[in-house]
Amino acid sequence: MAKGQREVVQAGTPALRNVAREVDPSRIDSGEIQELIAEMTSVCRARGVGLAAPQLGTQLRVIVLEDTTEGMSDVSPGDRAAQRREPFPMKVIINPVLSPVGDASAAFYEGCLSVSGYRAVVRRHLRVKCRGLGGDGSMVDFEASGWMARILQHEVDHLNGVLYTDRMESRTFRRVDKINEPLPPDHPEFGTTVVLGESSIAPKSSAAAPLSADDLENRAKMGRRRKR
């Protein structure tokens, strides 16, 4: 690991559970932010397909993502096609905001550098629109689908203190070396097991449809009412 490069923090670290702060656009060209971006792209290249600043313990709204032919070489062509996984060059997004495009979703196994050694099935929007600022402060506005859309939703979740384990089909949670074992059967208490692949039904909750403060308050009220 390069000099001064931090380790990816693991689940249980408070930095992964807080809502990260927006970056002041006037500070993007500062040494602090540029060094953070350099460190994040280096860790992402070495370790995975995406990284959010809180995973290095920095509570700022910065994500990086990249997928390469080499990085996906352990995924079969059939799985790659089903996941709509295509290589794309390194993207740096500051203060990203996602919005879902359509209702379609996809359920696939997903992992996280901060939940080292495990995987679980997570349903995500198949398509999202992403707006934010690039590493040079320029406007970023694009639509992503398939695996790239999944990575974006996973990384933006990190900025909101959310881990994939909060959204996973919990009975599919497993060690990474068990990824090819069958999905669990239907269960009398936990219901029908998820089917891998795409669906026309939107995910129940997602980083791409963040709740407003009012929504959160209303939910809290409803929760209190139900308990009575």
Q: Smallest distance from the beta carbon of 152 to Zn ion, in angstroms?
A: 12
Residues in 139-168 at the binding interface with Zn ion, rule: CB under 5 A: none
Q: Smallest distance from the beta carbon of 186 to Zn ion, in angstroms?
A: 29
**Closer CB to Zn ion, 40 or 112, in the complex:** 112
Nearest position to Zn ion, beta carbon: 112
**Closer CB to Zn ion, 27 or 174, in the complex:** 174
Task: Number of residues interacting with Zn ion: please give it, by CB under 5 A.
Answer: 1
| Long-range contacts of 134-143, Cβ-Cβ distance < 8 Å, separation of 24 or more | 134/91, 134/92, 134/93, 134/94, 135/28, 135/34, 135/37, 135/92, 135/94, 136/28, 136/29, 137/25, 137/28, 137/29, 137/94, 140/91, 140/93, 140/96, 143/101
- Assess whether 155 carries a catalytic annotation: yes
Q: Smallest distance from the beta carbon of 21 to Zn ion, in angstroms?
A: 19
Q: Smallest distance from the beta carbon of 51 to Zn ion, in angstroms?
A: 8
Q: Smallest distance from the beta carbon of 115 to Zn ion, in angstroms?
A: 7
Can you read off the two tokens belonging to residue 103?
């209702």
**Closer CB to Zn ion, 52 or 133, in the complex:** 52
Contact map string, positions 75 to 114, toward Zn ion, x by CB under 5 A:
-------------------------------------x--
Tell me which of 155, 169, 189, 217 is the catalytic residue.
155
Distance CA 50, CA 41 (A): 9
**Closer CB to Zn ion, 151 or 194, in the complex:** 151
**Closer CB to Zn ion, 28 or 112, in the complex:** 112
Read out DSSP for 74-117? TS-HHHHHHTT---EEEEEEEEEEEEE-SS-EEEEEE--TTSTT
Residue 81 CB neighbour total at 10 angstroms: 12
Catalytic site positions: 155
Q: Which residues bind to Zn ion, rule: CB under 5 A?
A: 112
